[in-house]
Amino acid sequence: MDNNKLKEIFFNRAEVEDAERVICDNCFEHTVFYLKDSQGRDFSLGLMTVLECVAFAISNGDLPKLPSCWLSDVDSVYGTDFSAKEDIFYFQNREYSYEG
């Protein structure tokens, strides 16, 4: 991908201006975020995508690791396997702390 396209994507950020809980019978996820990008276009973002982004950020050291019990709870609700990814959680025998 060329540098201009990367800049266009990078600077086209979405922000949450308002939020409300909407029940969607046709959505395939428990939670879907309805967003607007910097150019005024509407789009949606599923919670599964957000969780995958968080896992990626943790794996790259951009976020602190999570307790494995939290990831196990996410796995049981969403049918994921985040708790099996040792690079994103603290082991049960380690004390969890966030210094930020």
- For residue 46, give the DSSP letter: E
pLDDT of 40 over the 70 cut: yes
Region of 61 on the Ramachandran plot (φ > 0 left; ψ -120 to 50 alpha; else beta):
left
pLDDT score for 91 = 63
pTM of the model: 0.74
Give first-to-last CA distance, the chain, whole Å: 34
Beta strands 42-46; 32-37: pairing state: antiparallel
| Domain spans, the chain | 3-90
66 or 92: whose pLDDT is higher?
66
Q: pLDDT tens, 53-84?
A: 999 999 999 999 989 899 899 999 888 898 88
